Amino acid sequence: MGLVEGLWVWLKSSVINNEFFNSITQVRNAAEKFIRNINIIPTRTIGRLCIKM
């Protein structure tokens, strides 16, 4: 799985799964909040998305 696919799976499981949004704006806001949060600690994000060697 590539980085983009890994990010999508993480976003989907954290934000979208089992959640009902009334508008695309709510989806966008939730996705933006997720991105802001994962950017707070970049090393955690890198560790989650990158293959360990």
Q: What is the DSSP string of 33-50?
A: HHHHHHTTSHHHHHHHHS
Residue 11: band (very low, low, confident or very high) from pLDDT cuts 50, 70, 90: very high
Higher-confidence position of 17 and 53: 17
Question: Domains in the chain: how many in total?
Answer: 1
Distance CA 37, CA 45 (A): 10
Predicted confidence (pLDDT) at residue 53 exceeds the cutoff of 60:
no
Question: What type of residue is 34?
Answer: F
- Digit-coded pLDDT (tens) for 12-38: 999 999 899 999 999 999 999 999 999
